[in-house]
Each structure stands twice: as structure tokens, then as C-alpha cells.
């Protein structure tokens, strides 16, 4: 057990190959559920826009808790933390689904 923990086997030995195979099997065969490793989309996405301005799609969870008067400020903070540059948000509009529930927000910035 001591040699196993201290990795004391020679590189060309069969014990070394077994250890490497066990590590690779653990990495590639362990299901994602064990580590709760799920892909997650970004919470702020830049969309194509016209006239040199920018439009961003922000997930609803990011701005729903903020009061309506503070959503522009919160959106500016999110954009700065996500993209690393300061942009001035002109307005923030909610996006509704067919059942009139807020699914996200569109943040419009000026050039």
C-alpha cells in the first residue's frame, strides 16, 4: 500500500501501467452525477445588433429580484463582470413567454 500511495513503481513496469489505467478509467467512466458536473449556459449573452449598439440577453433570475428602478444598474454590473468592459445600459425590457411569465431580460446599450 505504501508503494501505491508514494507512486514508487518504475515507469516501464506493469504496476505503473495498471495505476495509469485505473486513473484513466476513473476519469472517463465516472458518471457526471457523482460530481454534479452539468453544462450550464451563460447567464448573459451578447446578441447581434445594428447601428453599433449592443443588445444582451440576461437570464430572468439575475434581474427579477432587483427593483424595477435598479435593474439598469444591476444589468451594467452584470455586463462589466461578464465581459470586463464598462457599457452604459440605456434600457432593460422583460421578455415574456406565451403565458406572460418573464423568461429573461433584454439590455440595450448605447455605442
- The per-residue pLDDT of the chain, averaged, comes to 86
CA-to-CA distance for 88 and 47, rounded, in angstroms?
A: 16
Secondary structure class of 55 (helix, strand, coil): strand
What are the residue ranges spanned by the domains of the chain? 2-35, 44-109
pLDDT tens track for 22-73: 999 999 998 877 877 667 667 888 888 777 778 999 988 888 888 888 999 9
Range from 1-5, 13-17, 55-59, 79-83 carrying the lowest mean pLDDT: 1-5
User: Which residues does 7 contact at the CB level (< 8 Å), separation at least 6?
Assistant: 19
Residue 62: count other Cβ atoms within 10 Å of its Cβ: 17
In angstroms, the Cα distances linking 58 to 11, 18, 40, 52, 74 are 51, 48, 14, 19, 11
Amino acid at each position: 500500500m505504501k508503494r501505491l500511495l508514494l507512486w514508487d513503481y518504475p515507469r516501464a513496469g506493469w504496476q505503473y501501467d495498471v495505476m495509469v489505467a485505473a486513473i484513466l478509467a476513473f476519469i472517463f467512466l465516472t458518471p457526471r452525477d457523482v460530481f454534479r458536473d452539468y453544462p450550464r449556459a451563460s447567464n448573459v449573452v451578447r446578441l447581434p445588433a445594428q447601428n453599433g449598439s449592443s443588445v444582451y440577453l440576461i437570464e430572468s433570475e439575475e434581474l427579477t429580484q432587483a427593483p424595477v428602478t435598479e435593474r439598469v444598474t444591476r444589468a451594467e454590473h452584470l455586463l462589466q463582470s461578464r465581459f470586463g468592459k464598462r457599457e452604459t445600459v440605456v434600457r432593460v425590457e422583460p421578455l415574456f413567454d406565451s403565458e406572460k411569465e418573464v423568461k429573461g431580460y433584454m439590455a440595450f446599450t448605447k455605442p
